[in-house]
């Protein structure tokens, strides 16, 4: 049986840590997003044709949102579990009567909440630069929460795997961010010539960006159900890996 009191304690602790670093966690993404809109939306957007009937400035909103969410969710989650390991306070969690379910629900719930806060702020910021509408707002919220849950678990795994600060940032910087930039954030895959349009489909971030773009405008580069399926599959994979980690104690009790 799940102890909701323990879950709430983990959830509030993670959320308060997010609020204590509001400058880095909130203001920095907003400033970065604003710069992207100034450069790509205003300077370049006026020279770009509409993509699928959507103004270029509005077209890049889902991609910019995904770019920020993936980076912030992964980094916050990995740092949240790495620091208790680094300071040794992880043993308090391991020795407490708290199960895997409570730990994951607390961490993931906090990550999802933080993602919704960030998404709201970014969308409000975007409104200052471009007019846009969301075709399926409920699906957009659900998809953002789904992606946040998957990548908070992924960050959880990274935080357990990393044994120094350099490893903690190597995956987001060298792999996640470049794949997001190449995942259709600022362009449609259909704009790429052969064979690059086919090669681009090997990038898993393409499906995440396309899925969120569909919830905004009702059209995307790939089928929406394929995007949902890949996201759910990645979520299930991360849950399985974390279950194995807690079962074996890999890097937790070392």
What are the pLDDT digits (tens) for 125-136? Answer: 888 888 888 999
Q: Which pLDDT does position 247 carry in this prediction?
A: 83
Query: Model confidence at 34, in pLDDT bands (50, 70, 90)?
Result: confident
State residue 87's pLDDT score: 80
pLDDT, residue 212, reads 95
Task: Please report the DSSP string for 83-112 in residue order.
Answer: HHHHHTTHHHHHHSS--HHHHHHHHHHHHH
How far from the centroid of its chain's Cα atoms is residue 47's Cα? 30
CA distance 203 to 64: 17
pLDDT at 39 over 90: no
**Lowest-pLDDT range of 73-77, 93-97, 127-131:** 93-97
Q: What dihedral do alpha carbons 118, 121, 126, 132 form, nearest 10°? A: 90
Does the model's pTM come out above 0.85?
yes
Please give the share of the chain, as a percent, with pLDDT higher than 90: 26
Give the closest residue to 84 by CA, choosing from 254, 252, 196, 205.
Answer: 252
Three-state DSSP class for residue 54: strand
* Integer Cα distance of 131 and 152 in angstroms: 30
Specify the higher pLDDT residue, 34 or 140. Answer: 140
Does residue 173 surpass a pLDDT of 90? Answer: no
Pairwise pLDDT comparison (171 vs 230), residue with the higher score: 230
Mean pLDDT of 199-219: 93
Separation between Cα atoms, residue 108 and residue 33, nearest integer Å: 24
Alpha carbon distance 133, 241 (integer Å): 38
Instruction: Output the pLDDT for position 253.
Output: 67
């Amino acid at each position: 049986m799940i102890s909701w009191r323990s879950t709430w304690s983990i959830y509030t602790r993670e959320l308060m840590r997010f609020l204590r670093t509001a400058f880095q966690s909130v203001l920095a993404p907003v400033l970065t997003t604003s710069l992207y809109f100034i450069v790509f939306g205003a300077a370049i957007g006026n020279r770009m044709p509409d993509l699928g009937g959507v103004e270029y400035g509005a077209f890049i909103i889902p991609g910019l949102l995904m770019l920020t969410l993936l980076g912030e969710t992964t980094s916050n989650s990995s740092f949240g579990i790495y620091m208790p390991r680094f300071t040794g306070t992880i043993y308090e969690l391991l020795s407490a009567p708290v199960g895997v379910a409570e730990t994951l629900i607390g961490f993931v719930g906090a990550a999802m909440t933080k993602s919704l806060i960030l998404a709201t702020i970014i969308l409000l910021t975007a409104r200052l630069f471009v007019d846009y509408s969301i075709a399926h707002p409920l699906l957009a919220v659900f998809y953002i929460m789904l992606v946040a849950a998957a990548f908070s678990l992924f960050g959880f795994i990274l935080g357990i795997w990393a044994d120094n600060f350099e490893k903690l940032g190597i995956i987001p910087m060298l792999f996640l961010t470049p794949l997001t930039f190449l995942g259709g954030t600022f362009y449609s895959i259909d704009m790429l010539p052969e064979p690059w349009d086919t090669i681009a489909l090997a990038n898993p971030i393409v499906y995440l960006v396309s899925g969120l773009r569909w919830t905004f405008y009702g059209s995307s580069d790939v089928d929406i159900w394929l995007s949902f399926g890949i996201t759910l599959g990645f979520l299930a994979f991360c849950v399985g890996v974390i279950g194995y980690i807690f079962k074996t104690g890999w890097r937790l009790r070392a």
